[in-house]
Amino acid sequence: MKGAQILIELLKREGVEVIFGYPGGAVIDIYDVIYETPEIHHILVRHEQGAAHAADGYARSTGKVGVCMATSGPGATNLVTGLATAYMDSIPIVAITGQVGTPLIGKDSFQEADITGITMPITKHNFLVTRVEDLAFIVREAFYIASSGRPGPVVIDIPKDVQQKTTEFVYPEKIKIPGYKPTYRGHVKQITLAAAAIMEAERPLLYVGGGVITSGASAQLLELAEKTDIPVVHTMMGKGTFPESHPLSLGMLGMHGTYWANKAVMNCDLLIAVGARFDDRVTGKVDTFAPKAKIIHIDIDPAEIGKNVKSDIPIVGDARLVLGELVKRVERKTHPQWREEIETFKRAYSPPYKESPKLLPHHVITLIYEKTHGENTILVTDVGQHQMWAAQMYRCEKPRTWVSSGGLGTMGYGLPASIGVQIGNPDKRVILISGDGSIFMKIQEMVTAVNYGLPLKIFVMNNSYLGMVRQWQGCLYKKRYSCTRLHNPDLAVVARAFGAEGLTVKTQAELEQAIDKALAIQDRPVLVDCHVAEEENVLPFVPPGKSLEEMILE
């Protein structure tokens, strides 16, 4: 078989059903094989970055490995932002890139770029295939590495001549990578210590992140929380790990977390971190984070233990397995005084959302939530103020119903990611909440959504600003609004020019009708341009470098 045929055969055997890509000269042999491979559905995006984000959204919402493909040189380098996005959030992607022929490598050949060198810091691993005989083993290894342990993106760079050469095809039944052996089962002694600490604590708190979703540990988390009566705070990546309507849920913590979640962190005596990495947007000033607490840190990646915050009881292992063992080792317990203290935090503050003749972002997101929430909806966001409002107001009850760029904070992520989500979940309703800054970053992918008849519901919080930067300028730089004012075209007209439906909303009275109309359209994407108040802020707000106690509340 030719190298290109071997690649596609391996993809089929890995269960790949969808590839998001953009063809070019260095991958034309692979596309020639795709032409006669009906088992694999290829989605033609309009920019390679869109392919990476779509594969990412597909992976986050399905739990499968997302696959994207691009040609050499600029095609491969256009994947970089999407790969970095997936890497920061531990999302399993396999990116296949074409490369110039092996005799031309290193000679500044046409459309040559050292993509393995470029992506080394932002991938879990990458491969440059120099022999067709190695291709089958490399593809198998790539999928195993991407999906095992702490997941992440993997690049396979395949020179053009390797795609064309032939060899006897032998399927690698077993994968064994020297030096790579993720630890899944936590150390029994450490788990026993953690169970004892939970039973001794008077003000325990669970702090959970995206690793709980990756592990499939939500059932074990719920069982532990209910058995031991421990309140739960989550990161933005952790939305959906624990039902947000549950009495023990305190919502999101951190820079734009709830007042009571942050107060609980600062007053707990035991913090149990599960599948979370103590990101700076969560901790604020690290020296002041959870000052009264003993810390248990459960993570499958040993490099995360103690990296940002020192842990007293570190446990390296898979969240589902470790939580399952913890549940066995703890007794039923209640914390009435601690729960009442948290209730006082809730009574002490509520976000200052005022009534206004203007359309306010929280009006829009609250009404979208009321009309769409449930197991049949997946919410996708871009990055900015709208993302934080959505995280605060759109409650998620199940894993993989929230898709958003966390660690890298990639504007432009939302539209291509929602395409990947819809392709991977054709029976689900996919809602995208974006901003007028973010939506234009990858607006060309509206063509992709139209071409494939995807019924995406896109709500743009249009405040004519780069909202989050403007908020920082307003709060921290004396309202010196430098280069953050946006002068936008009519978004509804732009959407219609692409072949989508475009609606404009400027008042509260128009909002409900527009949402209902958007939800009714099923044969094409709908963009609802919501003209919201220009200088509304996301609150609470912990300024960078400040303690969680130093929240700006109004």
pLDDT value of residue 351 = 76
Catalytic residue among 2, 48, 393, 446: 48
Q: What would the pLDDT profile of 506-530 be if each residue is shown by its tens digit?
A: 999 999 999 999 999 999 999 999 9
534 catalytically annotated = no
Q: Tell me the C-alpha distance between 128 and 162, whole Å.
A: 10
Catalytic residue among 111, 190, 444, 508: 111
Spelled out in words, what is the top-level CATH class assigned to the domain 3-164?
alpha beta
pLDDT value of residue 264 = 98
pTM, full prediction: 0.97
pLDDT value of residue 365 = 97
Look at residues 182, 233, 177, 227 and name the one whose alpha carbon lies nearest to residue 205. 233
Q: Tell me the C-alpha distance between 290 and 312, whole Å.
A: 13
Q: Tell me the C-alpha distance between 278 and 300, whole Å.
A: 14
Q: Tell me the C-alpha distance between 157 and 128, whole Å.
A: 5
110 catalytically annotated = yes
pLDDT value of residue 46 = 98
510 catalytically annotated = no
Query: How do the residues of the chain divide into helix, strand and coil, expressed in percent and rounded to 5?
Result: 40, 15, 40
What is the residue extent of each domain of the chain?
A: 3-164, 188-348, 361-531
Catalytic residue among 393, 468, 541, 551: 468
pLDDT value of residue 82 = 98
CATH topology (fold) of 188-348: Rossmann fold (3.40.50)
pLDDT value of residue 295 = 98
48 catalytically annotated = yes
Identical topology for domains 3-164 and 188-348: yes
φ and ψ of 171, to 5 deg: -80, 125
Catalytic residue among 160, 165, 442, 457: 160
Q: What would the pLDDT profile of 213-265 be if each residue is shown by its tens digit?
A: 999 999 999 999 999 999 999 999 999 999 999 999 999 999 999 999 999 99
pLDDT value of residue 140 = 98
CATH topology (fold) of 361-531: Rossmann fold (3.40.50)
Q: Which residues of 49-64 are buried (b: 16+ CB within 10 A; e: fewer)?
A: bbbbbbbbbbbbbbbb
pLDDT in tens, the chain (554 residues): 999 999 999 999 999 999 999 999 999 999 999 999 999 999 999 999 999 999 999 999 999 999 999 999 999 999 999 999 999 999 999 999 999 999 999 999 999 999 999 999 999 999 999 999 999 999 999 999 999 999 999 999 999 999 999 999 999 999 989 999 999 999 999 999 999 999 999 999 999 999 999 999 999 999 999 999 999 999 999 999 999 999 999 999 999 999 999 999 999 999 999 999 999 999 999 999 999 999 999 999 999 999 999 999 999 999 999 999 999 999 999 999 999 999 999 999 987 777 788 899 999 999 999 999 988 999 999 999 999 999 999 999 999 999 999 999 999 999 999 999 999 999 999 999 999 999 999 999 999 999 999 999 999 999 999 999 999 999 999 999 999 999 999 999 999 999 999 999 999 999 999 999 999 999 999 999 999 999 999 999 999 999 999 999 98
